[in-house]
Structure 1
Amino acid sequence: MESQELIIVDVFCQEYQIEINFIHDLEEFGLIETVVVQEQKYLLKNQLAFIEKIIRMHNDLHINKEGIEVILDLLEKNKQLENQIKNLKERINLYE
């Protein structure tokens, strides 16, 4: 994994003015992944938008980590249902 694909957790937390414990809690909940390289924790750059979304839910909407977990699960299920509907519509169109 190349170093430009990783963001140091400490630097990220300073930039976004959040506590490091928040990132650790998100990781414990299984909402995000971190990578340890030479005893330094990093976030994956491709998760940045997702983590920003979580931070906005937490800071702007005052949703706790449990609530964020539920919301993200529901959003994922909604996405799966939308894909299923799309596939079913395509199958129906074949018979029209």
Structure 2
Amino acid sequence: METQELIIVEVFCQEYEIEVNFIRDLEAFGLIETIVQKEQRYFDKNQLATIEKIIRLHNDLNINKEGIDIILNLQEKENQLLEEIKYLRNRLGLYE
């Protein structure tokens, strides 16, 4: 992976005023993935929105990691169901 697509965990934590251990806990719990290159820990920029959402859920609503995991899974399921509804509506439109 190119370093342009990666965000340094320590820099991210400084910007968002969170502990590096919080990111490590999220990774240990399986909510995010980090990459280690040259003794530096990174995460892919595609995870940025998810990590920001996790931080908001944790800090603003005081939701623990287990609750965050459930919320993220439910949102993913909702998105899958919405895609399925869209697909089925398109298929139904063929017969109208």
Q: Which residue of 2 aligns with 1:7?
A: 7
Alignment partner of 1:33: what SS? coil
Q: Number of residues paired by the alignment?
A: 96
Q: Which runs of 5+ in 2 are unaligned?
A: none
Once the two structures are superposed, the pairs formed by residues 1-96 of structure 1 within 5 Å of their partners are 1-96=1-96
Deviation beyond 4 Å, 4+ runs, structure 1: none
Matched position secondary structure for 1:31: coil
- Spell out, residue by residue over 1:18-41, the C-alpha distance to the aligned partner (whole angstroms, 9 max, x if none): 111110111112111100001111
Which secondary structure does the structure 2 equivalent of 1:72 belong to?
helix
TM-superposed deviation, 1:49:
1.5
Residue by residue, what CA displacement relative to the aligned partner does 1:35-56 show, whole Å, maximum 9, x if unpaired?
Answer: 0001111111121111111101
TM-score by length of 2: 0.94
Gaps of at least 5 residues in structure 1 are: none
Partners of 1:8 and 1:95 in 2: CA distance: 52
Q: Following TM superposition, by how much is the alpha carbon of 1:2 offset from its aligned partner in structure 2, in angstroms?
A: 1.7
Aligned-residue CA RMSD (Å): 0.9
State, as a whole percentage, how many aligned pairs show the same letter. 70
TM-score (norm 1): 0.94
Amino acid at match of 1:26: L
Match of 1:81, SS? helix
